[in-house]
Amino acid sequence: MKKIDLRSDTVTKPTDAMIRAMAEAEVGDDVYREDPTVNRLEEIAAERLGKEAALFVTSGTQGNQVAVLTHCVNGDEVIAEAESHIFYYEGGAMSALAGVQTRTLAGVRGALRAEDVEKAIRSTTNIHFPRTKLICLENTHNRAGGAVITPEKMKSVYEVGQKHGIPVHLDGARLFNAAVALGVDVRELSQYTTSVQICLSKGLSAPVGSILAGDRAFIEEARWWRKKLGGGLRQVGYLAAPGILALTDMTERLAEDHNHAKMLAEGLRNLSLEVEPVETNIVLVKTDSIQTTAVEFLKRLADQGVYAVDFDEYVIRFTTHRHISEEDVQYVLQIVERLLASVPAAK
């Protein structure tokens, strides 16, 4: 049976060019900063993101947590969107590792409103209060269905941060998806951040790793935190080499994934399913209208070789990526049509 894996863009495997680059990588001990391939990746990434410096980290979670550890001390308060990955999906690491507490604010399709952020910032004169030391943004916003946060919205929050002397960290796991969807250079977005994390291992297809970028002093301190977390790796140029290709060759093709996601969404709507607006490579589908839980529907899909994930009791997430073709999308739509015909309560 054909297997179509729409669980996540993290399932993408390295390209042939990436595998060749891994085999041929020039390496050294990166803890001594002697790995030329890592050094090159970090230079290219900093350039691409418009920052002074960058650090290769093992995962998006490590990049986000190193950022929180670098920006904050125990007892500080961090403002984050209520369904942001850094709050929702990182095992409580912000409180466990950095000892900070999170002030969550509900966003609009993942975007924090600048006025809400400003109201949530703690007065520094009241002895009862913790200190607000960081604002976190996420672009694209995963749980908001791959929603794009516009440069204007990022700017308005960044300016509030500037006004109060509070840095902004961007979880840009899928920041290139946002830039491609907006048709802008990624710096248009990253300019409104103090630090930014991007994933090389999602739609960009590298096997491992993320980048944390910021100014030189921030990255020096982040390097120390990464070492404390056990993230100081040695001949890691073998993993940085495909990361370089992720940044130089793989960003523009994300438009293809976005087209496939839109195609999938349109097809599902034509089958009378309720689908959230699609801006990038994520499609959220509601299953309450067919009186079937996400988990039940996923089981039926899996029986037909189609894989996705549940996002809520009645919400399924499909994620398109490099291994999903237009034919695959059509095939998935045929499967869903057949399943709906067999759901007694459908329509």
35 contacts ligand PLP (rule: CB under 6 A): no
Please list every residue from 174 through 213 that binds ligand PLP, using CB under 6 A. Answer: 199, 210
CB of 57 to ligand PLP, least distance (A): 9
Pick the binder of ligand PLP from 14, 60, 107, 110 (CB under 6 A).
60
Please state whether beta strands 101-105 and 77-81 pair in parallel, antiparallel, or not at all (unpaired).
parallel
Give the DSSP letter string of 89-138. Answer: SSTTHIIIII--EEEEE--BTTBPPHHHHHHHSPPSS-TTPPPEEEEEEE
* Interface positions, 130-169, toward ligand PLP (CB under 6 A): 138, 142
Q: Which of 59, 194, 205, 319 binds ligand PLP (CB under 6 A)?
A: 59
Among 61, 132, 281, 292, binds ligand PLP (CB under 6 A): 61
Closest among 328, 317, 315 to 282, alpha carbons compared: 317
**Which segment (44-52, 54-62, 245-253, 297-305) binds ligand PLP by CB under 6 A?**
54-62
Query: How far is 27 from 29, CA to CA, in rounded Å?
Result: 7
Neighbours of 76 (CB within 10 A): 19
Stretch that binds ligand PLP, among 57-65, 112-120, 179-187, 322-330 (CB under 6 A): 57-65
The sign one gets for the Cα dihedral 267, 271, 277, 282 is negative
CB under 6 A: which stretch of 53-61, 97-105, 183-191, 283-291 binds ligand PLP? Answer: 53-61
- What residues contact 16, with CB distance under 8 A and at least 6 apart? none
Among 48, 51, 71, 85, which residue sits at the site for ligand PLP (rule: CB under 6 A)? Answer: 85
For residue 161 the two structure tokens come to 């941060």
- Give the pair of three-digit tokens for residue 268: 């599902």
Token pair, residue 182, equals 């907006």
- Least Å distance, CB 88 to ligand PLP, is 9
Residues in touch with ligand PLP (CB under 6 A): 59-61, 64, 85, 138, 142, 171, 173, 199, 210
